[in-house]
Amino acid sequence: MLSFLILLSVFLTRQAAALPSPSINVADYGPSSIIRRDVCIIGGGSSGTYAAIGLRDKGKSVAVIEKQSVLGGHTNTYTDPNNGTKVDYGVVVFGNTSIVTSYFGRFDIPLTSGTGSFATNATIYNVDLRTGKIVPGYVAENSTAAFTAYAAQLARYTYLSKPGWNLPDPVPADLLMPFGDFVRQYELGAAVQIINQYAQGFGDILTIPTLYVLKYFNRPVLVGAQTAFLTTARRDNSEIYEKAKAELGKDVFLNSTVLATSRNANGVRIVVKTPQRVKLILAKKLLISIPPKLSNFRGFDLSTTEQGLFSQFSNGGYYTGLLRNTGIPDNILVNNIGADTPYNLPAVPGSYAFSPTLVPGLKDLKVGTPSAISDAEVKALVVAEIERLKTAGTIMTATTPEFVAYNSHTPYELRVSADAIQAGFYKNLNALQGHKNTWWTGAAFDKHASGEIWAFTATLLPDIAA
């Protein structure tokens, strides 16, 4: 009997993510619980906040629903309690594009070129964190020729630098092959280490379709890597979201979650649980900016088409944080290098590096996994890696660290199989825009880069505002 109840519970839980929500009756809500807006935006991360500001600028009323206590999504900023120094440990840099400079300029936030809150004069220890030992004889390859060849390949696919997934039909075979095969075919091996440093959170980049690597590490990123990216002059990337929140005021509902949606040609109804009470939002249109994974849509009235598309997404895991009391000297950067892996890529799951920041004693942490794992597992992994530094005799002062800041950016880098791409997945995904008065944005509809996400979102705003 107990086994039956457990199986029934699992079945109902799975069905809850797939079945349409029950009808939403306006008469069930009192006047003080009903909010009327032109557009409801679900998700107050990078794309959702940008859309809210853009729609307000177009004279539209908005309501932004965000489950966290702040806006900004993957933008995480820590303030050192001793001296007030800011450390960005989520989004660190931005591409030098007009949309980036104009958006920050709108809020009077100065930008500068640089690496943000990271120290730049550290001694690098190339360590295999699986063993804690320095990788003997490892020297980074000269990547000039490889990146020249890589740029030539990018020139074949200029559409990958444009907003969204506008792919030709058929999709070129080279874009569908595993990136490792693409690297070997075009002799790009010397560039792989650097590409992987930018494509953190992708899992094993050698096994995923080349399309995703070229879309992410596209020509603007290549130029930025060779010249300079932008960051905020005050080293506080969260400032733009704080100022956006102040401007949006009561139109932002933090610590709030969607319980149910009902969408049709006449408009949308969204039931939202806020810290104060359950509210009903009646809107003409809906913009969804959260990751399109089925687990995020319990209570949503997803169509069969939406369910079919979103169920195909897989993802990597990406986790960020700041550590104290690591025992790693301030002038040392521990770089994870695989002693026996292709191109010496760091093994995943694992940390990419322990990097010194501008705050003494504070190390930046980035962890990548092939798929999602729990926060407890991430932290245990990190502690074990640092312990191995001491056990191996690499850094004898290494100690059990304190996590002073930590955030999960998972699910990260949503992708589908090469077969799905060839079968027209992204054409079908694009066709969702406007269906049932709903539009979609976020990294899954472009890439994990603030400027590109804003540029893609900007293409949607005229139709949403119409």
The per-residue DSSP string of 429-448 comes to: HHTTTTGGGEEE-SGGGS-S
Contact present, 359 and 87 (Cβ < 8 Å): yes
Q: Give the span between the Cα atoms of 305 and 270, in whole angstroms.
A: 20
Which residue bears the tokens 């400079």?
Answer: 101
Does residue 7 sit in helix, strand or coil? helix
pLDDT tens-digit map of 186-195:
999 999 999 9
pLDDT at 121: 84
Q: Residue 67 corresponds to which amino acid?
A: K
Least Cα distance to 367 among 293, 314, 316 occurs for 316
CA distance 407 to 45: 14
Report the distance separating Cα 413 and Cα 415, nearest Å.
6
Bond preceding residue 411 cis, omega within 30 of 0: yes
Q: pLDDT at position 20, please?
A: 47
Token pair for residue 417?
A: 């199989």
DSSP one-letter string for 281-335 = EEEEEEEE-S---GGG-TT----HHHHHHHTT-EEEEEEEEEEE-----TTEEEE
Report how far residue 344's alpha carbon sits from residue 351's, in angstroms, rounded to the nearest whole number: 14
Could you tell me how far CA 284 lies from the centroid of its own chain? 28
| Nearest of 356, 443, 326, 366 to residue 116 by alpha carbon | 356
Q: Which residues pair with 262 in a beta bridge?
A: 269
What is the reported pLDDT for 6? 29
- The secondary structure of 134-165, three-state, reads ECCCCCCCCCHHHHHHHHHHHCCCHHHHCCCC
List the structure tokens of 434: 């406007």
Q: Can you give the pLDDT at residue 435?
A: 96
pLDDT < 70: residue spans in the chain: 1-22, 116-117, 119
**Cα(181)–Cα(388) distance, rounded to whole angstroms?**
33
412, 201 in Cβ contact below 8 A?
Answer: yes
Which pLDDT tens digit goes with each residue over 409-446?
Answer: 999 999 999 999 999 999 999 999 999 999 999 999 99
